[in-house]
Amino acid sequence: MKHSPASTFAFLSVVLALCLPLGITPTFAADDATDTSPARPADDGVDEQAEPDDEDTDDPGGLHNDGDTDTDNEDESVDPESADPDDDDDIIADPLSQGAATETDLPPAQALDEKTLFNFLYAEIAGAREQPALSARTLMELARETRDPRIAFRAVQYAFAAKDAQLITNTARLWREIAPNSPKARELMENISAGRDSVFARIQIILARALAQKPEALPANLISLNAALTKADDKEAAQKVIQQLTEPYLTYPEAHFARAQAAALAKRPMEALAAADRALALRPDWLPALLIKAQLLYEAEAAPQARQLFVDAIARQPNNRDLRLAYARSLIATRQFAAAREQFNTLLAAAPADRGLLYTVGMLSAAELDDPATAEPLLKEALAAGHPQADAIRIELGKIASARGKQAEARKWFNAVSPGHFTATARIRSAQSLAKEGKLKQARALLQKVPNADTDTQRRYLLAESQLLLEAKRPSEAYALVDRALTKEPDHQDLLYESAMLAERTGLHGVMEARLRKLIALAPDFAHAYNALGYSFADRGIRLDEAETLIDRALELLPKDPFILDSAGWIRFKRGDLPGALPKLEEAYATRSDPEIAAHLGEVLWRLNRNDEARRILDGALAAHPDNDFLKITVRRLYAPQKKR
């Protein structure tokens, strides 16, 4: 749609009125302007993988646990809201409200491109609509891109209008960075720092009084100190406050625990470890101190020491349920699933009717340890005991039946799922079950034109249908299905990724590359897009330098992802670095026993003349995945007798 001359004149008048006070000279293309609205799509907040928020999960394994175990008595603990260093009442007065920056603060006027101009307008319109925080954030991003101090100054003004202390600090810091010679920017940062010091001093008085007035609640209040400062953005200043507040109470382990927390938040792990050790010296095997020390050791990549910490404590207190439970959860967090199950089994032996433990051991056995024989009776028992995650159990029992070839039984479990969060998953699983019986037409029909399905769910069904076609060795139809959907949503990340993968399966490598590059441009943190493109290059033996760069970027984003680790090993193999490839592939396979990872690991072992190890890996994977074509081809090639030259 083109502007009429009258509307164009009005539009230019608004632009000039907004830009000239900042000394910005807008530039316009010679052609007639087109409608390039600066409106930005809002984040719809949809997360297809989100789990339901259930208040009673009976989940000791933490598989659905949000970690909120605060049981402090509200009347006898420090009130976090009473000591907020970022409270709006503590914001310093706006020193900029009486006028704009002086001419000496500003560089000469500069041309403004169309994108910058429209983003600036977007921010001003948001401000006019009483959304100053949105204006400040938009202008802050724009100032980072343009390095223009006038835009940074305008962001500061909107931050003050929003009365958001953190936003004021961030915009002021950016202004000071962009305009280091500006007296006003320097003065503002000095005022903010002085104001923060004053605020922290007042907070310290409030908290010191709270600690002294209720000696009977002192241990609980010491533990709660960091919660009272949770909104403080300056963690080092918060740590200093905690150090001073706890000084009179160093005979209490809770004081050292508070110091450990504060040091950890301030990114001072050695100080945190020392404080945790002092707490444990005062109260050996005290669980809160053990937990924070273990967490610090895990973060320092000292997992063996963290595990030994728990093992030693459990040896001294074998009947301490909470201690063993904490250890088991830490093992799950570090993907030590077999060891975690051992600990949960010990707990289950002491409480065989505990439905939470039945569920946890059953789900660990089924989902992580590929042990359906152990999982099935435990999950059925948990279901009969009324576990609140009943539909998750039904889905898992259906998967177990389907894997055994009992498709009718599997669909009974899926059909028993209640309407709600697992409805789409149950329908997709039922379709997959039908396809396994050769009933592809009925399977596809189950996923098409589902009544009352929202857009996101319909998209899930479409992608599931494409997977059924791919498994039926009809990749061209699968690609066409997703490609049609992509024409309606050309920037949708899941559709771009899946269509790129299917394009490669049909030999359309150019399409695959173009779509993955578009996806990377749209979502620079989409690790699997980098990985897929890099792996494709590596697997085809082309552009190996770029392949390695792409895979390394993916590994930076998701360093523990087994598929990305597999790619990192495979690119090294392709470059002839067998010793470098092996540890990556071993780590990948230890994390996930995927048949293609097994094929890669087996191949590298074979090339290293470690044939017995290779056969053990490949034969085991083939027994677990007898229908995987990639694995079968690899095994056939490696095991074939070598022809004599």
pLDDT at 193: 66
Average pLDDT over residues 337-361: 95
Percent of the chain surpassing pLDDT 70: 80
Q: What is the pLDDT confidence band of residue 53, given thresholds at 50, 70 and 90?
A: very low
Average pLDDT over residues 486-512: 95
Among the ranges given (25-34, 218-227, 431-440), the one the predictor scored with the smallest mean pLDDT: 25-34
Distant-in-sequence, close-in-space partners of 544: CB < 8 Å, separation ≥ 6:
537, 538, 571, 574, 575
Percent of the chain surpassing pLDDT 90: 55
247 C-beta neighbours (distance < 10 Å), count:
10
Structure tokens given for 493: 């990340």
Average pLDDT over residues 221-235: 80
pLDDT at 110: 54
pLDDT at 74: 39
Distance CA 487, CA 568 (A): 33
Structure tokens given for 576: 């002839």
Of the CA atoms within 13 Å of residue 544, those in its CB half-sphere come to 13
Structure tokens given for 132: 């100053």
pLDDT at 199: 60
Q: What is the 3-state secondary structure (H, E, C) of 330-371?
A: HHHHCCCHHHHHHHHHHHHHHCCCCHHHHHHHHHHHHHHCCC
pLDDT at 80: 44
Structure tokens given for 88: 């709006």
Average pLDDT over residues 306-320: 93
Measured CA to CA in angstroms, residue 444 lies from 71, 428, 455 at distances of 50, 10, 18
Name residue, tokens 């990639």: 630
Reference 48, options 330, 394, 463; nearest CA is 463
Distance CA 399, CA 254 (A): 47
pLDDT at 16: 31
pLDDT at 607: 94
Of the CA atoms within 13 Å of residue 407, those in its CB half-sphere come to 12
Question: CB–CB of 48/40 below 8 Å?
Answer: no
Q: Which residue has the higher pLDDT, 193 or 620?
A: 620
Q: Would you say residue 336 has pLDDT above 60? A: yes
pLDDT at 198: 58
Q: Would you say residue 503 has pLDDT above 60? A: yes
Mean pLDDT of the chain, nearest integer: 82
Average pLDDT over residues 22-50: 34
Average pLDDT over residues 412-426: 95
pLDDT per residue over 554-581, tens digit each? Answer: 999 999 899 999 999 999 999 999 999 9
Q: Which residue has the higher pLDDT, 157 or 79?
A: 157
Q: Would you say residue 172 has pLDDT above 80? A: yes
- For the chain, give the number of residues: 645
Q: Would you say residue 536 has pLDDT above 80? A: yes
Among the ranges given (105-109, 370-374, 384-388, 610-614), the one the predictor scored with the smallest mean pLDDT: 105-109
Among the ranges given (68-82, 229-243, 597-611), the one the predictor scored with the smallest mean pLDDT: 68-82
**Which one-letter DSSP state was computed for residue 88?**
G
Reference 501, options 447, 493, 630; nearest CA is 493
Q: Would you say residue 5 has pLDDT above 70? A: no
CA dihedral 613, 618, 620, 622 (to 10 degrees): -170
Q: What is the pLDDT confidence band of residue 197, given thresholds at 50, 70 and 90?
A: low
pLDDT at 88: 42
Question: CB–CB of 13/119 below 8 Å?
Answer: no
Reference 618, options 610, 367, 568, 373; nearest CA is 610
pLDDT at 93: 46
pLDDT at 8: 31
CA dihedral 416, 420, 422, 424 (to 10 degrees): 100
Domains of the chain: 15-30+79-213 (1.25.40), 214-334 (1.25.40.10), 535-645 (1.25.40.10)
* Amino acid symbol at 534: G
Question: CB–CB of 536/512 below 8 Å?
Answer: yes
Q: What is the pLDDT confidence band of residue 642, given thresholds at 50, 70 and 90?
A: low
Average pLDDT over residues 370-392: 95
pLDDT at 347: 96
Distance CA 464, CA 466 (A): 5
pLDDT at 58: 56
pLDDT at 200: 63
127 C-beta neighbours (distance < 10 Å), count:
21
Q: Would you say residue 211 has pLDDT above 90? A: no
Of the CA atoms within 13 Å of residue 143, those in its CB half-sphere come to 25
Name residue, tokens 């903010």: 192
Q: By CB neighbour count within 10 A (0-12 exposed, 13-18 middle, 19+ buried), where does 423 fall?
A: middle
